[in-house]
Amino acid sequence: MSKKSFPFAERIFFCYFEKQKVVMTDFQVTILGNGSAVPTAYQNLSAQLVQYGHRRFLVDCGEGTQMQMIKYQVSRKNLSHIFISHLHGDHYFGLVGLVSTMHLFGREQPLHIYGPEPLEEIIQRQMDASDTRLKFPLVFHVLQKAGKIYSDNNLEISCFPLNHRIATFGFVFREKERERNLQKDFVRRYSPGVEQMHRIKQGADFLLPDGDVLRNEDITLDPPLSRSYAYCSDTLFDPDIVPFVRSVDLLYHEATFDDAMADIAAEKYHATARQAAQIAKAASVGELLLGHFSARFSDTAHLLEEARGVFKNTRKSGEGMTYKLSTR
Ligand SMILES: [Zn+2]
């Protein structure tokens, strides 16, 4: 299969496994902002772009997100789904501006927005007050409880409740189980039809003309393992989160405060870097990405140290940085 048969925006990687090409779709997260409460000269407010192939999802949209999108060359035209974790301003005050820009750009295709219930009313009132009649449909999806909120051929997105002062949700992006790969030698030797190949990729055996059966595991290769990403911001340290993020390849978890401010973290329904690491460890995730840093820290190196004391495979998220999802 040549590269040209895929959508142009879909970046394809070929991994060689037993001389067989396995197609891996690009799956990555770009941090547009990882600061909490107020923007500073060093950090912008929560927003990130999750990309799977040519599909692009915005997660949270703090004030200034559009400027960050311009800075990091993220198009504002072809987003189709926006997920808002909760209605504290630092997570969604940029949304109405982004919707307005899409309108001024002449957008026509629907925009799906997921968030707690009053979000639709808040956006609508701002549109009404400015007598803005959007040229495209806004489709609101109210987040109420844990469950699947999006699904396509390759990807499934779920939400789950976090423990914060107001209704707040985390999100998990999971790649669906992929089809098995046919072994080249088998295809060359037996030239199965399209229908047969489809069934074998889904696990069927192959019947030879003499009645013998070739078992599926002898004529196929395992597909690449499915990859997953979870976003947890904002939340109190809460082990109830663990089952929802168990074994994800990459976990972004808020680390608003340091050890010395653990009492303040609890009071404000936030977590420390060490607590983020405790969640990562309990959930056996592949890697932890810290974010949502308090504006009081001009240097967050000690947060990384504190977290690594519990969970070694931890990184500090960096604004403008892209993290590729890989299987373990
Ligand atoms: Zn909050």
Domain limits, the chain: 8-178+223-324, 183-221
**Ligand 1 centroid – CA 37 distance (Å):** 8
pLDDT, tens digit, 9 for 90 and up, residues 207-227: 888 888 989 998 999 888 889
Amino acid 161 reads P
**Ligand 1 centroid – CA 250 distance (Å):** 21
pLDDT, tens digit, 9 for 90 and up, residues 163-184: 999 999 999 999 998 888 899 8
Q: What does the mean pLDDT of the chain come to? A: 89
Q: Is 45:94 a contact under the CB 8 Å cutoff?
A: yes
Percent of the chain with pLDDT over 70: 93
Mean pLDDT for 126-131 is 93
Query: Strand 55-61 relative to strand 287-291: parallel, antiparallel, unpaired?
Result: unpaired
* 90 φ, ψ (degrees, to nearest 5): -70, 0
In this structure, the number of other CB atoms found within 10 A of the CB of residue 213 comes to 10
Model pTM greater than 0.95?
Answer: no
Residue-by-residue DSSP string for 260-286: GGHHHHHHTT--BHHHHHHHHHHTT-S
Query: What is the fold of 8-178+223-324?
Result: Metallo-beta-lactamase; Chain A (3.60.15)
Mean pLDDT for 158-165 is 96
Residue 14 has pLDDT above 60, yes or no: no
**Ligand 1 centroid – CA 147 distance (Å):** 21
**Ligand 1 centroid – CA 177 distance (Å):** 33
**Ligand 1 centroid – CA 237 distance (Å):** 13
For residues 203 and 209, give the distance between their C-alpha atoms in angstroms, rounded to a whole number. Answer: 19
> From the candidates 90, 234, 249, 258, which is the catalytic residue?
90
For residues 223 and 243, give the distance between their C-alpha atoms in angstroms, rounded to a whole number. Answer: 25
Indicate if 263 belongs to the active site.
no
Q: In angstroms, what CA-CA distances link 115 with 11, 42, 56, 118, 274? A: 30, 28, 17, 8, 28
State the pLDDT at residue 282: 97
**Ligand 1 centroid – CA 38 distance (Å):** 11
SS3 content of the chain, % helix, strand, coil (to 5): 25, 30, 45
**Ligand 1 centroid – CA 292 distance (Å):** 10
**Ligand 1 centroid – CA 46 distance (Å):** 10
**Ligand 1 centroid – CA 234 distance (Å):** 5
Residue-by-residue DSSP string for 59-107: EEE-TTHHHHHHHTT--SSS--EEE----SGGGTTTHHHHHHHHHHTT-
pLDDT, tens digit, 9 for 90 and up, residues 54-94: 999 999 999 999 999 999 999 998 899 999 999 999 999 99
For residues 232 and 158, give the distance between their C-alpha atoms in angstroms, rounded to a whole number. Answer: 12
Q: How confident is the model at residue 328 (pLDDT cuts 50, 70, 90)?
A: low
For residues 59 and 46, give the distance between their C-alpha atoms in angstroms, rounded to a whole number. Answer: 8
Q: How confident is the model at residue 11 (pLDDT cuts 50, 70, 90)?
A: very low
For residues 252 and 61, give the distance between their C-alpha atoms in angstroms, rounded to a whole number. Answer: 16
